[in-house]
């Protein structure tokens, strides 16, 4: 590691470098010099096909955020390499980067109270506000068609047609559910294509463990893990947060009676998101509940597609794990459909 660290312009000499945090994608290390602390990361080549493009996105977004706020804890800060870049590729082809360590902060794996969930909404709403005027179009689409739902449906149809493991038969009601929602599920993509909704910078991994909270006040400091930052719609980030954050159970719960979309949590997140986001016009506001529904549909569709294809993408711990996951998402979508008018009312009432 010494060799890697020598390529970065650190203050002081590295004295300790130890594995850090609970990230699942990159290898993360805490580095200490006699003067300060840093985060060193080896980027996952398995997860990311275009690391130089990804790093250009991270650099552009962090520089833009830093220019708006003097507080060093308000965003990630990349440490330059000795040749003026922001990442280093070693002899084995591994990619490395270094950030300032965000001091006196907390990073939770899951909310311990609705207030933590609220703070994650404040962090991601604030991210939207700060990047409102950023030219989202200039970012690389490092994972092409990530939330292109019609494209997800094309892949689903192909898997269903091929049915390589003969699993379609066991998933009759689930298949029927997704087939009946195909038209509805394309709504966001249509709004994006016609320009009816503004193109925004989206984070695409809005879990609480990608938010830093102040260790004392437990209030949102900033958003981290910008590896999946891309051009998209505000409804993607909002919707995915609701999908997993407002559900009353885990993604793979088998007792479906335990799964619903909690309206209290929906309200909590929407309030935090919109307050931090600042103003939002009518069309974008109306897209938020739609985002919750479509992100849930899309995710369920991906679980079911992976089930049909033989569980290549999502790792499974039991047979039918992906089918179970698809079922919770279906349950959530159905629940949102029943609560649709209330979700829309809540969204409007949280508007500033």
> Could you list the residues that contact ligand ADP (CB under 6 A)?
20-21, 23-26, 28, 39, 76, 99, 101-102, 107, 209-210, 224-225, 227
Task: Specify whether the CB–CB gap between 69 and 161 falls below 8 A.
Answer: no
By a kind-dependent CB cut-off of 5 to 8 A, residue 102 interacts, out of ligand ADP, Mg ion, none, with ligand ADP
Looking only at residues 10 through 49 of this chain, which bind Mg ion when binding is defined by CB under 5 A? 23
Name the residue nearer to ligand ADP (CB basis): 245 or 289. Answer: 245
If phi > 0 it is left, if psi is from -120 to 50 it is alpha, else beta; for residue 244 that is: alpha
The beta-strand segments (E) located in 203-331 are: 211-214, 220-223, 230-232
Least spacing, CB of residue 43 vs ligand ADP, in Å: 9
Closest residue to ligand ADP in the complex (CB): 23
Beta bridge partners, 153, equal none
Name the residue nearer to Mg ion (CB basis): 212 or 292. Answer: 212
What are the Cα distances from residue 229, in Å, to 62, 205, 335, 340? 11, 8, 30, 29
Closest residue to Mg ion in the complex (CB): 225
Q: What is the per-residue burial (b if ≥16 Cβ within 10 Å, else e) of 110-134?
A: ebeeeebbbbbbbbbbbbbebbbeb
Least spacing, CB of residue 26 vs Mg ion, in Å: 8
Residue of 174, 225, 237, 251 that binds Mg ion (CB under 5 A): 225
In three-state secondary structure terms, 14 is strand
Name the residue nearer to Mg ion (CB basis): 149 or 206. Answer: 206
Least spacing, CB of residue 11 vs ligand ADP, in Å: 15
DSSP assignment of 128-159: HHHTTTS-GGGS--SSTTTT-HHHHHHHHHHH
By a kind-dependent CB cut-off of 5 to 8 A, residue 306 interacts, out of Mg ion, ligand ADP, none, with none
Name the residue nearer to ligand ADP (CB basis): 26 or 202. Answer: 26
* Residue 260 binds Mg ion (CB under 5 A): no
Least spacing, CB of residue 47 vs ligand ADP, in Å: 8
Least spacing, CB of residue 228 vs ligand ADP, in Å: 9
Task: Specify whether the CB–CB gap between 178 and 156 falls below 8 A.
Answer: yes
The beta-strand segments (E) located in 171-279 are: 200-202, 211-214, 220-223, 230-232
Least spacing, CB of residue 26 vs ligand ADP, in Å: 4
Dihedral of the alpha carbons of 300, 305, 309, 313, in degrees to the nearest 10: -50
Name the residue nearer to ligand ADP (CB basis): 28 or 320. Answer: 28
Name the residue nearer to Mg ion (CB basis): 24 or 137. Answer: 24
Rule CB under 5 A: which residues touch Mg ion? 23, 210, 225
């Amino acid at each position: 590691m010494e060799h890697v660290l020598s390529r970065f312009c650190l203050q002081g000499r590295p004295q300790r470098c130890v594995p850090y945090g609970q990230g699942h994608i990159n290898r993360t290390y805490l580095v200490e010099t006699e003067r300060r602390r840093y985060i060193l990361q080896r980027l996952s080549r398995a997860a990311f096909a275009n690391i130089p493009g990804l790093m250009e996105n991270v650099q552009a977004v962090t520089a833009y955020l830093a220019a708006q706020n003097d507080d060093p804890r308000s965003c990630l800060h990349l440490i330059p390499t000795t040749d003026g870049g922001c990442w280093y590729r070693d002899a084995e082809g591994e990619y490395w980067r270094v950030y300032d360590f965000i001091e006196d902060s907390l990073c939770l794996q899951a909310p311990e109270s609705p207030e933590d969930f609220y703070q994650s909404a404040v962090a991601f709403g604030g991210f939207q506000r700060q990047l409102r005027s950023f030219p989202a179009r200039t970012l690389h689409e490092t994972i092409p068609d990530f939330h292109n739902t019609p494209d997800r449906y094309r892949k689903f149809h192909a898997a269903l047609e091929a049915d390589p493991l003969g699993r379609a038969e066991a998933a009759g009601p689930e298949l029927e559910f997704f087939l009946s929602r195909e038209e509805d599920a394309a709504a966001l993509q249509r709004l994006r294509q016609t320009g009816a909704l503004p193109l925004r910078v989206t984070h695409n991994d809005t879990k609480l463990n990608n938010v830093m909270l102040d260790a004392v006040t437990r209030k949102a400091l900033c958003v981290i893990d910008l590896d999946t930052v891309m051009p998209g719609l505000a409804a993607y980030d909002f919707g995915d947060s609701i999908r997993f954050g407002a559900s009353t159970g885990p993604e793979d719960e088998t007792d479906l009676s335990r799964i619903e979309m909690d309206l209290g949590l929906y309200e909590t997140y929407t309030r935090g998101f919109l307050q931090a986001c600042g103003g939002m016009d009518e069309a974008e506001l109306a897209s938020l509940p739609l985002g919750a529904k479509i992100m849930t549909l899309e995710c369920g569709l991906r679980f079911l597609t992976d089930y049909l294809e033989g569980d290549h993408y999502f790792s499974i711990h039991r047979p039918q794990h992906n089918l179970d996951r698809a079922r919770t998402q279906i349950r959530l979508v159905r629940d949102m459909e029943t609560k649709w008018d209330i979700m829309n009312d809540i969204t409007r009432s949280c508007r500033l």
